[in-house]
Amino acid sequence: MEIQNKLETVDFSQFKWRAFIPGETIVEDFSAMKFSGRIEDIVSEHYFPATYTLQVITAGTCKVNINNKVYELSANSGYFTSPDFLLKRPEPSDTTVEMYILSFSPKMAKKLISPFSLSQLASVYMHPTWQMSEKKTQRMVHYLELMREVLDDENRKAALYLLDSLIFCLSDHYEEEPAQTQLSRNEEITGQFLVLVDGNCNQHHSLDWYASEMCLTTRYVANTVKQTLGFTASSCIERALVQRAKVMLSTSATPIQQIADRLGFQNQSHFGTFFKRHEGCSPKDFRARNHKLM
């Protein structure tokens, strides 16, 4: 498999950005690239991505499986994923796709000037794909090409401004095309829950807190999320914590005690027990195996 970068074709194994490759959680702040090929070549197994990603399709067709739902996409469409989304490898096919892939870290996401309301964010989380006019798609492609240029110059500040512009383009679409993103009551509740988890899981691990923020009972939120997603609300919180832990362990030399503190655990021992239950190894062992990718 090959990735196109700067109008050149480079060997995928040598490409610096590895955020969306299963098993590799090493990330930088941004990456913008152009890809041509089969979608299953970049999604080799089931995994949770380490970053936020925005994919804009300019030609061809593909299928993507996001949170156990299959979407068929073609030119002038795209999709969004967050670190808490479950991505699955699609069935092999002979179809190819040309697309731009933008990835940015959770740290950068916090710096964005988000134009989305909570209900719009819920729509994005529950309906992460979109179909746009060719004109709107070309506008997003223009920003993506500019972002590739400024990233080549390592101009992170300019990249952040361009990322804000892309997010505003996407927000305008969700505002102008409500029929594409209309939610049922269960989807609205689940989407708002996922948005809250994304922004607050470092401080709040209890489902009770999220239910209280939503002015709903814990049982009602739990039942609604399970019916909508097929897995529990508590597992959403836990997997979000695991993903953040894996990124910090892999991309920094931050002491494990500090990581435990940042993720809201009482102590390092509690964090270690939690992490091993989900990953089958201690945070120290995980770091030893993955830090070599930096």
Q: What are the chain's domains? A: 2-181 (2.60.120.280), 185-293 (1.10.10.60)
CB contact at 8 A, 65 and 47: no
CB contact at 8 A, 213 and 246: no
pLDDT tier, 283 (very low <50, low <70, confident <90, very high otherwise): very high
Mind listing the pLDDT tens digit for each residue in 51-77?
788 899 999 998 888 877 888 999 999
CB contact at 8 A, 23 and 54: no
Phi-psi region at 23: left, alpha or beta (left = phi > 0; alpha = psi -120 to 50): left
Residue with tokens 């590895």: 18
Tell me the residue type at 186.
N
The answer, yes or no, to whether residue 23 has pLDDT greater than 90, is: no
Pick the range with the lowest mean pLDDT from 118-132, 182-196, 236-250, 270-284: 118-132
Q: How far apart are CA 149 and CA 162, in angstroms?
A: 11
Q: How far apart are CA 256 and CA 204, in angstroms?
A: 19
Q: How far apart are CA 140 and CA 145, in angstroms?
A: 9
Statement: the pTM of the whole predicted model exceeds 0.75: no
Q: What is the pLDDT of residue 44?
A: 57
Strand pairing partners for 34?
4, 100
Q: What is the pLDDT of residue 120?
A: 66
Alpha helix locations (H) across 177-266? 185-200, 207-213, 218-229, 233-251, 256-262
- Name the burial class of residue 165, with classes exposed (0-12), middle (13-18) and buried (19+) by CB atoms within 10 angstroms of its CB: middle
The answer, yes or no, to whether residue 175 has pLDDT greater than 50, is: yes
Q: How far apart are CA 74 and CA 4, in angstroms?
A: 19
Q: How far apart are CA 62 and CA 72, in angstroms?
A: 6
Cα Rg for the chain, rounded, in angstroms? 19
Q: Select the highest-mean-pLDDT range: 28-37, 133-142, 179-188.
A: 133-142
Which stretch of DSSP H or E encloses residue 10? strand 8-11
